[in-house]
A and B are shown apart, each in its own frame.
Chain A
Amino acid sequence: MSAESISNTGAARARKVDLRVIGPLVALVVLILIGVMLNPNFLSYSNVTNVLARSAFIGIIAIGMTFVITAGGLDLSVGSMAAFVAGLMIMAMNWLSVSMGDSVVVILLGIVLALGAGLAAGFINGILITRAGIEAFILTLGTMGIYRSLITWLADGGTLSLGSGLSSLYSPVYYGGILGLSWPIIVFALLAILGEIVMRHTAFGRHCAAIGSNEKVARYSSVHVQRVKLATYVLLGLSVGIAVVMYVPRLGSASATTGLLWELEAIAAVIIGGTLLKGGFGRVWGTVVGVLILSLISNLLNLTDFVSPYLNGAIQGVVIILAVVLQRNSGPAR
């Protein structure tokens, strides 16, 4: 390319960066304004904390997903994985409580198990993708079916419920909190900050972007490509484990419908937030905005009679597309 065209494309790029940054934020602000107009309770303390706490599960998973997608990967299994890990955790805690009673130790063991199981499930996905060279889409589509079947089988088609003693002991992890913020919100916020720092300011985050951008260049630049890719899946598995730890105390149950379509919501949140689906660029704060946008849409629809509930999906679809168009469509098309 010749030097003279540089200034031009360089300028175009600069404009694009601006819109990319504000795109999802604009969508979020617009949603909030609409919400305030439609219902005075929208900004009430309880509604805001409800929405934030509800967003936490998918939000925590989506933070992990941001790294996977930035590194050029994909994981469709997270929803099923969450259900499976939740089922495993509930069964183990119920079993332990027989011998150990309804104690905090049982809950701690359950938490350790959930984190371990998430980690292991992520490792399995990662090792098969990096070592056996199976396409991430197909592999995780496979494991998605496997985990979904396993939870259905574990629950015998029904619902696995935590014993009532344990349930009331554990429930403060979802419903409790400090300074008026519930634990899921706090955990989500901390992980988001941590994720943003890791993505932006560590070698790992930079390596993820490099691999997603051009795997060959990364390899030739002596980046441990396979190791980094594996790490993204393990990290995602761990974030699924953390999400489950926050999820189980809410209703104390897991069934075949737990976590249904979470994977798509997480992926949608990541993309709305400005991360490129093909990899190469990712940002965690954008993902957080994306998750909030998705949660706010369904919250808004529940708070109003504005449209027929049959059209909820359509409204969500339109907002998702608009949020993405806002950040991509700047200036003349290439």
Chain B
Amino acid sequence: MSEPILALKGVTKSFGPIEVLHGVDFALRPGEVHALIGENGAGKSTTMKILAGYLSQTRGEIILDGKPIEFTGSDQVEDLGIIMIHQEFNLAEHLSVDQNVFLGRELKRGWRLDHRAMRTRTAELMSRLESRADPATPVSEISVPEKQMVEIAKALSRQARVLIMDEPTAVLTERETEVLFRQVERLRDEGVAILYTSHKLGEVKRIADRVTVLRDGIMVRSDLIDDVTEDDMATAMVGRELSDLYPPKSDRGAEPILEVSNVSVRGVVENASLTLHRGEVLGIGGLVGSGRTELAEAIAGLRPRTGTVMLKGQPLAAGQVAQAMKAGLVYLTEDRKGAGLLLEKSLRENLTLPLLKDFGRPLIDRKREEAALDRAIEDFAIKVPARNMAVGDLSGGNQQKLLLAKTLLSDPDVVIIDEPTRGIDIGTKQQVYNLIADLAAGGRSIIVISSEMPELIGLASRVVVMHAGRVAGELAGDAVTENGIVRLAMGMEQSGKENAA
């Protein structure tokens, strides 16, 4: 076994009086992918931030090339060849892709910027990542997975000895993930030491050479990947046996509650139709960019559209989100931080925002708001260190629970949930799945949009698959399989319902 490039030895970290890492030993070796897994709040981010120089340890040592080193800041650490890819994108939205890739390290010819060289290099990197994003496009105009690819391109463009990846695949489809993994493998073969975190244990099994599990700031186990199963990992993370991840599906009613016919959104969705029944969980699958999100937003009144949407037999006007909510249809966005929550506001203000008028007119009744928050915290098991803290300081899973609480506040009949479990840990995932099942059992109708195949299969009794802005097909019952969904999503079958049971 080769010597580690970068290692932590007995590292602890305290924030004020609270110790959050308790003596972590961790080593990154050249030519090895080391996965660090754990539930949200287990200490993964803190560990990574210490390794990348964003935080300094309270006690213990950081060892670089066998010698203890004091990191003075992330700049110095980057100069040492230790590169971190952040989960929250550090991209300048209004700059183009190539400007972002070379931000702070612009290529120059004399004193002038060498635009052509930067553009060519970026195009090379992006094509290696099989991304179609044009280097000249402003980052604000590209999709979320493309943004992730830009972050990765940024890291690839540097001569990394150590690459730290914080959930790089959270927003990627399986195909994009595969592209990323090929790059990770290439870097590993070149001798780069890679730290990789993910909530997707299948991926960990697929890409990692070694896996370390953190729980509550303690390293619970560290093994070669061949010595552990996914179940072992999950058990070590949660600290208890996980029963079946997905709750049993309930039977749907026969009565259609939402009928969408021939809905088009200029340039992204064409003539999409679907029907949702009372008490049903309907899945929408397809690649990112296939028009799933846009279709959902069009139905919910967030985008201009043509075509008709009937809710409980009544037509919904296009582009009227408040009216849709009043009629009983709500949408939970995939973009939790950009469109879902006000990160610098408190939980209370976020929770009641869509329905303020119901909390007293003309003056808001603070007590009723607080009561609603109490209820939400209890119903959705939101873990809140301090009641009036900013939502941005909550962990991803708790943010998602709050967003669910907020979306469900209006007691809707139809809920469209876009990526219900993006970037949250397995324990929280299970809670969300149970919640969706409970909603359906209670007579509500749910559409789940997801990039994670097992999620669609585990939750939905029927799946509509989109490809290139169109509904490519529909699967039901036993026909809902990974293979079936993939074939439709890739456009390999343009069918009606021949697979329907």
Q: Residues on A close to B: CB < 8 A?
A: 1-11, 13-14, 197, 201-203, 206-207, 209-210, 213-214, 216-224, 280-281
Q: How far is the CA of A37 from the CA of B353 in the complex (A)?
A: 49
Structural contact, B15 and A7, CB atoms closer than 8 A: yes
Q: Residues on B close to A: CB < 8 A?
A: 13, 15-16, 18, 20-21, 40-46, 217, 302, 321-322, 324-325, 331, 333, 335, 338-345, 349, 353-354, 356-357, 359, 361-364, 366, 383, 385-386, 389-390, 392-396, 406
Structural contact, A3 and B40, CB atoms closer than 8 A: yes
Given contacts A1-B392, A202-B362, A202-B363, contact A8 B15 (CB under 8 A): yes
Structural contact, B356 and A220, CB atoms closer than 8 A: no
Report the minimal beta-carbon distance from B137 to chain A, rounded to whole angstroms: 20
Query: For B331, what are the chain A residues with a Cβ–Cβ distance below 8 Å?
Result: 220
Given contacts A218-B353, A223-B354, A224-B322, contact A6 B394 (CB under 8 A): yes
Structural contact, A210 and B353, CB atoms closer than 8 A: yes
Query: For A281, what are the chain B residues with a Cβ–Cβ distance below 8 Å?
Result: 344
Q: How far is the CA of A10 from the CA of B346 in the complex (A)?
A: 11
Structural contact, A210 and B385, CB atoms closer than 8 A: no
Structural contact, B46 and A4, CB atoms closer than 8 A: yes
Q: How far is the CA of A280 from the CA of B390 in the complex (A)?
A: 13
Q: How far is the CA of A116 from the CA of B20 in the complex (A)?
A: 61
| Between-chain CB contacts (< 8 Å), 6 pairs | A2-B44, A6-B393, A202-B364, A216-B335, A222-B325, A280-B342
The secondary-structure label for the interface of chain B is mixed
Q: How far is the CA of A210 from the CA of B406 in the complex (A)?
A: 14
Query: For A6, what are the chain B residues with a Cβ–Cβ distance below 8 Å?
Result: 385, 389, 393-395
Report the minimal beta-carbon distance from B218 to chain A, rounded to whole angstroms: 12
> Which of A11, A221, A280 has the most CB atoms of chain B within a 10 A radius of its CB?
A221
Q: How far is the CA of A201 from the CA of B367 in the complex (A)?
A: 12
The residue in chain B whose Cβ has the minimal distance to the Cβ of A220 is: B339
Structural contact, A2 and B395, CB atoms closer than 8 A: yes
> Which of A206, A207, A216, A222 has the most CB atoms of chain B within a 10 A radius of its CB?
A222
Report the minimal beta-carbon distance from B238 to chain A, rounded to whole angstroms: 15
The residue in chain A whose Cβ has the minimal distance to the Cβ of B323 is: A222
Query: For B21, what are the chain A residues with a Cβ–Cβ distance below 8 Å?
Result: 4
Query: For B366, what are the chain A residues with a Cβ–Cβ distance below 8 Å?
Result: 201
Q: How far is the CA of A286 from the CA of B437 in the complex (A)?
A: 48
The residue in chain B whose Cβ has the minimal distance to the Cβ of A212 is: B342
Q: How far is the CA of A202 from the CA of B359 in the complex (A)?
A: 9
> Which of B42, B349, B354, B393 has the most CB atoms of chain A within a 10 A radius of its CB?
B393
Query: For B43, what are the chain A residues with a Cβ–Cβ distance below 8 Å?
Result: 2, 4
Report the minimal beta-carbon distance from B181 to chain A, rounded to whole angstroms: 25
Structural contact, B13 and A203, CB atoms closer than 8 A: no
